[in-house]
């Protein structure tokens, strides 16, 4: 909870302003009730109208002010809270990218539901609590000034409604709120996984069992929510009972005071009716206590993400990005995914000078994708150095590095929008001619031009309305449009059939001619065009050289080449 309060510091002024407006709003309500009570009692004595004018004007002022100040309190309070949530959500999102070790549904629950639950701390706990303390204290002071015994009665009732009832609500709600938070995460994970795997569930006949499990989780969550609602009702009932007792207590001490002359009879109505307005201040505190428990559980899930070890340590004072042209050097690079895990890369070195094209090949698990991840500053090196123009990339901002080193990966995402919108993601200011040029280099221009809607053709969710090869080519065109000085192609032909993969490899090598490129691939066809091939095995460089040099000697590359040709269904054996 202290960490959540620390997040509010940048918006602390707005929160204090919201508290002020809340005090004025509820204070106007209390003032309206007290003034109205005095006005009605005094008017029953038929005094001259002029003696009532101040009270009449005050009633109007309090009535108007209550609505105006309530609106201002909601406006400023929500503005401050949404600013805090935006910052918190951005922090969580930064930790979810690129890796978090959590399932998609659980990520969704933490990013959306758990972050949203945090707003209850500020809107439904802190603000009402602060306002209740100020307005409640002022009301007790007013009652004490009129009749000390009435002030004591009101204070006792407020302590019951504003302290005892919330405490009981929190104690009773602790278990149900904890279980409710867990079930909400489980339900989100289950629903997301079911929707993503719906075709497989239907094919294998597992959909009924999956739906039954969803129904079971829903019933469990409903029971937990019902227990939570029962607790809230009990807290509200206790608070209402305390308010009623405060009114009767006011009568019990006020009537004898009037008889003894210690209290003006006109003020008796104020003493009796004042608790009715004052208890509006504390009526929501039992529910606020429940929200606090809910916030605590959700915050623990949010901070579990924020407290994960960062895959990359950003420098506190990033060095200036060197100017182009860029030379990327890797020297004795070592990297691993966990602090105590085995090295996925161990002593890898390479040079990428302007216009040079290299390919990194190797079996699955050899460290190819790890190398790409390190070069993009998405994973911290465990040893060695990666430099741009002699500057260690660890001293540069990750965003600066990624402005120089761009990637087109095997799982490049297409958004559920048009082809043109997906391309302009790389450069929103791109002209029609520049987009057409990128499509031409990716060998897509004739296909897009033949579409009835052209660039306005929607690709569907994850590019479902286009073929796998077209999806990868659109991603390649987007990368080419971004015009990165150094281009990293990470398994761009993965998940494609052999013919499409070889055709796409040839096209991308043609499109990147003259551009500094590192191609990470498991296919060897077409690599005659690159300047150097680096063969990785278990994170180490097993061999390196040109295509011709590697085929001329016995080694892992030649074995991979012969194996690929032997089992390639499109090739005829020599």
pLDDT tens per residue, range 339-367:
788 888 998 999 989 888 898 988 888 88
Q: Which helix (H) or strand (E) holds 548?
A: helix 547-551
Nearest to 312 by CA among 97, 92, 516, 463: 97
Question: If DSSP codes are grouped into helix, strand and coil, which group holds residue 541?
Answer: strand
Cα–Cα distances (Å) from 495 to 409, 469, 570, in that order, read 12, 9, 17
Count of CB atoms within 10 A of residue 334's CB?
16
- Per-residue pLDDT for 243 more than 50? yes
- Per-residue pLDDT for 445 more than 90? no
- Per-residue pLDDT for 100 more than 60? no
**What's the rounded Cα separation, in Å, for the pair 567 and 561?**
10
pLDDT of residue 109: 62
Token pair, residue 42, equals: 């005094």
* Residues 263-281, mean pLDDT to the nearest whole number: 86
Q: Are 8 and 15 in contact (CB under 8 A)?
A: yes
pLDDT of residue 106: 59
Please give the residue that has the higher pLDDT: either 498 or 164.
Answer: 164
**What's the rounded Cα separation, in Å, for the pair 388 and 410?**
25
CA within 13 Å, CB half, 536 = 31
Q: Supply φ then ψ for residue 327, to 5 degrees.
A: -120, 120
- Per-residue pLDDT for 570 more than 70? no
Q: What is the pLDDT of residues 521-569, one digit of tens each?
A: 877 877 888 889 999 988 898 989 998 888 888 888 888 888 877 766 5
The proportion of the chain whose per-residue pLDDT surpasses 70, expressed as a percent, equals 92
Per-residue confidence at 411, pLDDT binned at 50, 70, 90?
Answer: low
169-184 burial by CB neighbour count: b if 16+ within 10 A, else e? bbebbeebbbbbbebb
- Per-residue pLDDT for 7 more than 50? yes
- Per-residue pLDDT for 293 more than 80? no
The CATH number of 328-566 is 3.40.50.300
**What's the rounded Cα separation, in Å, for the pair 348 and 330?**
7
Please list, in sequence order, all residues whose beta carbon lies within 8 angstroms of the beta carbon of residue 121, skipping any fewer than 6 positions away.
Answer: 1, 4, 291, 292, 295, 299
CA within 13 Å, CB half, 84 = 28
pLDDT of residue 98: 47
Count of CB atoms within 10 A of residue 5's CB?
12
* Residues 456-479, mean pLDDT to the nearest whole number: 81
Highest mean pLDDT among 203-207, 376-380, 406-410, 461-465: 376-380
* Residues 268-286, mean pLDDT to the nearest whole number: 84
**What's the rounded Cα separation, in Å, for the pair 83 and 63?**
31
Query: Could you tell me how far CA 448 lies from the centroid of its own chain?
Result: 35
Task: Indicate the average pLDDT of the chain.
Answer: 83
Nearest to 245 by CA among 324, 183, 314, 158: 158
pLDDT of residue 507: 72
Please give the residue that has the higher pLDDT: either 147 or 416.
Answer: 147
Token pair, residue 198, equals: 């719906």
Cα–Cα distances (Å) from 91 to 86, 111, 490, in that order, read 9, 10, 27
Q: Strand order in 357-362's β-sheet?
A: 405-408, 486-490, 516-520, 357-362, 532-537, 540-545
**What's the rounded Cα separation, in Å, for the pair 225 and 233?**
12
Provide the greatest CA pair distance for the chain: 120
Q: What is the pLDDT of residues 120-158, one digit of tens each?
A: 788 877 888 888 889 989 999 989 999 999 999 999 998
Q: Are 272 and 340 in contact (CB under 8 A)?
A: no
pLDDT of residue 104: 53
Sorted by where each begins, the domain ranges of the chain are 2-306, 328-566
pLDDT of residue 495: 61
The percent helix, strand, coil of the chain (3-state, each to 5) is 65, 10, 25
Please list, in sequence order, all residues whose beta carbon lies within 8 angstroms of the beta carbon of residue 274, skipping any fewer than 6 positions away.
Answer: 30, 33, 34, 37, 139, 142, 143, 154, 250
What is the chain's Cα-based Rg? 35
* Residues 147-173, mean pLDDT to the nearest whole number: 86
Please give the residue that has the higher pLDDT: either 309 or 565.
Answer: 565
Q: Which helix (H) or strand (E) holds 391?
A: strand 391-392
Strands 328-335 and 383-388: antiparallel
Q: Are 491 and 409 in contact (CB under 8 A)?
A: yes
Per-residue confidence at 496, pLDDT binned at 50, 70, 90?
Answer: low
pLDDT of residue 515: 79
Token pair, residue 407, equals: 């990637």
Please list, in sequence order, all residues whose beta carbon lies within 8 angstroms of the beta carbon of residue 390, skipping any fewer than 6 positions away.
Answer: 322, 327, 329
Nearest to 522 by CA among 554, 557, 488: 557
Per DSSP, the residues of 1-44 read -HHHHHHTGGGHHHHHHHHHHHHHHHHHHHHHHHHHHHHHHHHT
Q: For the whole model, what pTM was predicted?
A: 0.60
Token pair, residue 155, equals: 């204070």
CATH 3.40.50.2300 fits 2-306, yes or no: no
Residue 403, preceding bond cis, omega within 30 degrees?
A: no
pLDDT of residue 57: 92
**What's the rounded Cα separation, in Å, for the pair 226 and 219?**
10
Q: Name which of 20-34, 181-195, 235-249, 494-508 the model is least confident about.
A: 494-508
Q: Name which of 17-26, 116-125, 515-524 the model is least confident about.
A: 116-125
Q: What is the pLDDT of residues 67-79, one digit of tens each?
A: 999 999 999 988 9
Per-residue confidence at 51, pLDDT binned at 50, 70, 90?
Answer: confident
- Per-residue pLDDT for 102 more than 60? no
Question: If DSSP codes are grouped into helix, strand and coil, which group holds residue 520?
Answer: strand
pLDDT of residue 101: 45
């Amino acid at each position: 909870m202290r960490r959540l309060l620390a997040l509010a510091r940048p918006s602390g002024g707005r929160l204090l302003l919201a508290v002020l407006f809340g005090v004025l709003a509820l204070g106007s309500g209390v003032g309206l009730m007290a003034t109205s009570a005095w006005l009605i009692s005094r008017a029953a004595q038929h005094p001259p109208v002029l003696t009532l004018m101040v009270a009449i004007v005050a009633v109007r002022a309090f009535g108007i002010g209550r609505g105006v100040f309530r609106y201002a309190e909601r406006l400023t309070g929500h503005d401050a809270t949404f600013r805090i949530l935006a910052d918190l959500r951005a922090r969580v999102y930064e930790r979810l990218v690129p890796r978090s070790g959590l399932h998609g549904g659980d990520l969704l629950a933490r990013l959306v539901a758990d972050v949203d639950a945090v707003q209850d701390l500020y809107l439904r706990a802190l603000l009402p609590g602060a306002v209740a303390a100020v307005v409640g204290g002022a009301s007790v002071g007013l009652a004490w000034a009129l009749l000390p015994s009435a002030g004591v009665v009101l204070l006792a009732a407020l302590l019951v409604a504003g302290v005892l009832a919330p405490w009981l609500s929190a104690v009773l709600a602790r278990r149900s709120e904890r279980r409710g938070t867990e079930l909400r995460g489980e339900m989100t994970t289950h629903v997301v996984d079911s929707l993503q795997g719906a075709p497989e569930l239907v094919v294998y006949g597992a959909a009924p069992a999956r739906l039954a499990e969803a129904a079971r989780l829903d019933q469990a969550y409903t029971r937990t929510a019902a227990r939570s609602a029962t607790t809230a009702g009990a807290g509200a009932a206790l608070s209402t009972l305390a308010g009623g007792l405060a009114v009767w207590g006011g009568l019990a001490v006020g009537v004898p005071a009037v008889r003894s002359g210690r209290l003006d009879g006109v003020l008796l109505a104020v003493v009796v009716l004042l608790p009715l307005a004052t208890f509006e201040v504390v009526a929501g505190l039992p529910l606020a206590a429940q929200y606090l428990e809910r916030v605590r559980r959700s915050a623990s899930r949010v901070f579990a993400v924020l407290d994960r070890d960062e895959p990359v340590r950003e420098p506190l004072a990033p060095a200036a990005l060197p100017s182009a042209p860029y030379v990327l050097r890797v020297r004795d690079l070592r990297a691993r995914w966990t602090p105590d895990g085995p090295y996925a890369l161990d002593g890898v070195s390479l040079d990428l000078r302007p216009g040079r094209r290299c390919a990194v090949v190797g079996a699955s698990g050899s460290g190819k994708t790890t190398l790409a991840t390190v070069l993009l500053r998405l994973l911290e090196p465990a040893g060695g150095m990666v430099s741009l123009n002699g500057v260690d990339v660890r001293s540069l901002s990750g965003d600066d590095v990624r402005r120089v080193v761009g990637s087109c990966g095997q799982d490049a995402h297409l958004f559920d929008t048009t082809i043109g919108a997906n391309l302009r993601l790389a450069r929103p200011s791109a002209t029609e001619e520049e987009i057409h040029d990128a499509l031409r280099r990716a060998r897509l221009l004739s296909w897009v031009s033949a579409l009835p809607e052209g660039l306005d053709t929607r690709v569907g969710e994850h590019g479902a309305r286009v073929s796998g090869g077209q999806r990868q080519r659109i991603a390649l065109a987007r990368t080419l449009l971004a015009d990165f000085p150094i281009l990293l192609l990470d398994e761009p032909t993965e998940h494609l059939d052999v013919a499409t993969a070889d055709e796409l490899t040839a096209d991308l090598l043609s499109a990147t001619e003259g551009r500094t490129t590192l191609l990470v691939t498991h296919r060897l066809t077409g690599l005659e065009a690159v300047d150097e091939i680096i063969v990785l095995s278990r994170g180490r460089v097993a061999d390196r050289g040109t295509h011709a040099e590697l085929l001329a000697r016995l080694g892992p590359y030649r074995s991979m080449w012969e194996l690929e040709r032997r089992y390639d269904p499109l090739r005829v054996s020599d």
